[in-house]
Structure 1
């Protein structure tokens, strides 16, 4: 049986060709996982600076969070007053809680906006220190 004859098997080997020409002409097959990652990398537009837009979005998110933390501050103060803590101490503890929440959320938003710029000890160190002081003072001030 020759290669050019048709048979009932439905499978025929191609005619032998020069190996170097076949290697150059054949595309390199890549796994599907590598192909999808290559597509994801190429979707962005190179050369476009989005840092100001990202900071605006981060600022808007931080503003919404600060409004929510303000309502949480009032709820915490009311909870402390209900536990028989004097109102002036409860209000001070609630403001310290607000400072803690604001500093932690500021650090998280800045890290999400641009990790390469803002995840440095020079930026996150003072935010963490202010947050830790705020948490300690909120707990100490909120006692009876």
Structure 2
């Protein structure tokens, strides 16, 4: 009882190609270039730097959660400073500078993770790093007795 009609299971192998048609078919090849240390690649090439809205939304959500955590860390740091006999207004200022430092650090890391080709440029990371370093210095200066 042989079936005359085959039922398709959704997968079929392509028909075998003979050597003559394979020789005439266009071939696509990819090349990997490994340069010795110190040499530069000459020529033009493009870097894909497209960031989807989903990536930016996930990065923004992560930053929001981190900012809430940093706010609690700011309060804990200020309370610790007050316990060490630092005046409350100076301790609160040091806590806010800690918040700014952590926020700028997290912003730089999230931007680098979302799209490093687009956001790791000196015009973007430079100011973020400068604000972070300034906040770190001001945190230590304002947290003195």
Q: Partners in 2 of 1:50 and 1:134 — Cα distance?
A: 29
- SS, match of residue 68 in structure 2: helix
Residue in structure 2 matched with residue 130 of structure 1 by the alignment: 131
Aligned to 2:60: 59
Displaced runs of 4+ in structure 1, greater than 4 A? none
| Aligned position for 2:113 | 112
| 1:35-54 alignment, distance < 5 Å | 51-54=52-55
Give the greater-gyration-radius structure (CA).
1
The alignment covers a number of residue pairs equal to: 99
Q: Which position in structure 1 is the counterpart of 2:70?
A: 69
Question: How far apart are the structure 1 equivalents of 2:52 and 2:106?
Answer: 19
Task: Report the 3-state secondary structure (helix = DSSP H, G, I; strand = E; otherwise coil) of the residue aligned with 1:58.
Answer: helix
For the aligned residue pairs, the C-alpha RMSD in angstroms reads 1.5
Q: CA deviation at 1:50?
A: 5.6
User: In the TM superposition, what is the alpha-carbon distance from 1:51 to its structure 2 partner?
Assistant: 1.5
What 5-or-longer segments of structure 2 have no aligned partner? 1-18, 23-49
Deviation at 1:127, TM superposition (A): 0.2
Partner of 1:84, secondary structure, is coil
Q: What TM-score comes out, normalization by structure 1 length?
A: 0.66
